[in-house]
Structure 1
Amino acid sequence: MGRVKLQIKKIENNTNRQVTFSKRRNGLIKKAYELSVLCDIDIALIMFSPSGRLSHFSGRRRIEDVLARYINLPEHDRGGVIQNRDYLIKTLKQLKCESEMAAQVANPGTVNSNIEELQQEISRYQQQLQLSEERLRLFEPDPLCITSMNEVESCEKFLMESLNRVTERKKYLLSNHMASYDPSTSGMQMYMQPHQDGIPSAYGSETVQWVLDGAANPGHQIFVGSDPLMSLRYTLFPRNALSLGITRL
C-alpha cells in the first residue's frame, strides 16, 4: 500500500503535533541551507515549536542583519507598513551586540586576543601620557627634582628658547598692529585738526562767535594763541583762568 497523504489541517493531538513538527523542522532547515548555498542568498528562518521552543537558521549573514535589511526596504517593496520601525531597528542592533558578546564568551581564544590588544593600546596611551607630562614639566620645573648641572642647563635652554619664540611672536604681532594703525581714525583727530582760522573743526563757527563775543567784553582781554584747545578753554572758563593768574600770549 502507498503512503497515506496527510491532510493539511491542524493536528489536534498534542503529541502527534509535536512529533510532526520535529520531523519536518529538520527537513525545512535542510532545504533552507541548500537554497542559501546554491543560490547565494540571504535567508532567515525562525520557528517556534508547539511547546514554544525556538528553532532558527540563517545563511551567510546573521538573522538580525537579514531582518534589518527587510525593515529598511521601501514600503512598496516590503508590502506594507511596519509599526514602530525605529524601535525594531534599535532592538535588532541590541540583539546583534548581545549575540557577538555571547560568541566571544563562548570562544575564550577570541576574548583573550581582544584583551591583549586592549592592554597594548592602554600601554601605548600611558607612554604618550608620560611623555606629555615630562614635556609639560619643562615649562614649570620643580627645583627640588633637579639634581645635576646638566638638568639645570637643559631646562634653562628650553625655557630661553620658548621665551625667544614668544618674544618673536610678540614683535610680529606688534609690527602688524602698527602697520594697520591709521591715525586719521583716532577720536582725538577731529580736535587736533585746525581750520584756517586756527579754531578746532569740532566746534565750527559757534566757537568763533564765542571768542568774538568774549573779545568784545571790556572786562576780559583774550589772545588766541597757537594752541586752539587752550584758547578754547580760556574762552569757556575765563574766570578760572584769571583767578589762577593765567595770561595767554
Structure 2
Amino acid sequence: MGRGKIEIKRIENTTNRQVTFSKRRGGLLKKANELAVLTDAQIGLIIFSASGKLYQYHSPSSSMEEIIDGFLKAENIHFDNLNSHQQLHSEITKIRHETDRLQLSLKQITGEDLTGLTVNDLNQLEEQLEFSVSKVRTRKHQLLNQQLENLRRRVNKPISYIIMSIKFSHLLH
C-alpha cells in the first residue's frame, strides 16, 4: 500500500508537529550522511528546533569548524565578486554621466539646446566655434592646395611626355 501525498504546510497540532520534526530530522541526517559517504562531499548541517535545541551533522572526513571556514572563504570570494560588480556599476554610472554631459555639449555646439546658458556661456561657446571654424578653414585650404598641386602635376606630366615624343619622332625622321 503506497503512501498518500501530503500537503506541505505548517502542522497546527503541536504533538504531530514534534513527531514530524523528529522523524524528518532523522531522515535528513541519514541522507546527509549517505551523501557524504557516497560522494566524499563535505557536508555541514545545522538544525534548530522550534524550541531552540541545536542538532548538527558534519561529514566524517572533516569537522564543523573546517566546513564553516570553507563556507566563509567561499562567501568572501562571493563578496569580492560583489565588490567588483559594484565597482563596474560605479564606473558605468560615471561613463553615463560623462556621455550625457558630452551629448549636451554637442547639442549646444550645434545650436540645438541653448536653454539654460548665460550670456557668458554663450560668449565662450561663440569663441570655441570661431576657433573651430578657423581650424576647419585652415585644413580645407591645405587640402585644396594639395589637390591643386596634384592637378598641376597631372597636367604637366602629359605635356612633357608629348614634348619628348615630338622630339624623339624628329630624331627618327
TM over 0.5: no
Q: TM-score range by the shorter chain?
A: 0.3 to 0.5
Higher Cα Rg, which structure: 1
Using the size of structure 2 for normalisation, the TM-score is 0.41
Which of 1 and 2 has higher RCO (CA within 8 Å, sep 6+)?
A: 2
Richer in helix (by share): 2
Using the size of structure 1 for normalisation, the TM-score is 0.30
